[in-house]
Amino acid sequence: MLLNQGPAAPLPVDDLVSDTTTQGFVKDVIEESRRRPVLVDFWAPWCGPCKTLGPVLEKLVRAAKGKLKLVKINIDEHPQISSQLGIQSIPAVFAFVKGQPVDGFVGALPESQVAAFTERLVGKVGGASAELVKTAEDLLAKGDAAGAADLFAQVLAEESENVHALAGLVRSHVKAGNMGPARATLSLIPKGKENDPAVSAARAALELAEQAASLGDSTALEAKVAANPLDHQARFDLAIALNARGKRASALDHLLEIVRRDRKWNDDGARKQLLQFFEAWGPTDEITIEGRRRLSSILFA
């Protein structure tokens, strides 16, 4: 134990991030570390790198959902602890577990390295959310749009900017035929994440569903194609309608037929529509893989 316990430390900012003093160190760090790992951030107001590292530490500690605590100590006001630990430069971070310092680093490391440091203590942050997203994706693949939406919403209640959950919720709304909520959810994608593959797939799914909604019943389109196999517009519209009904293999067949018969039709429209299908279906989907193979065999035959 480093010091005898003295007067209580200042009230914490919250249960995850707080300041401490020399007198409060035992209670705030030593005793607390017997319940969960505690990071101690040694900093000073004049230290520029400290101002960079501090927000990163807070972000990662909050993301750990209570598995980890951050305690900050100003070495100008409370130099005794840093002196006992032999700290010669700041920022310096020590991890305490079961009353003892077990790991640490010096300097304003990149967030990825700080995250790796915290993961050594509590495991990978976001694991529970990732499992919920995966379960939701499985439900959506089975056609349970409502169940998937509930799980995606649970993730977003804790992590409002979770891109995979947002994209999944968009696709859940699309699957349920709720285009308004799908469009509204898409607008919540964080800036800079608009081109994330999950977001692109969700956007493509929404656009395809909106296209299909304007086409109406596919029966008339099927009749047109049967009457005139060279009616590429009817075949094109039919492919979109079939995809909206979940008949992706048939939709693929019709668009490939247009490419085979007339590659240049509608400014290469059939091929471009196929690419949007592939984006909506996902790169690892079996029909996407088959479709890319068949498209390549037509284009490069």
Q: Is 50 a catalytic residue?
A: yes
Catalytic residue among 38, 50, 53, 95: 50
Tokens 């608009």 locate to: 194
What's the CA gap between 199 and 151, in Å, rounded?
Answer: 18
Catalytic residue among 17, 47, 182, 251: 47
Q: Is 47 a catalytic residue?
A: yes
What's the CA gap between 195 and 279, in Å, rounded?
Answer: 12
Measured at the CA of 165, the angle between CA 159 and CA 166, to 5 degrees, comes to: 95
Burial code (b: 16+ CB inside 10 Å, e: under 16) for 91-123 equals bbbbbbeeeeeeebeeebbeeeebbebbeebbe
Give catalytic residues, as residue numbers. Answer: 47, 50
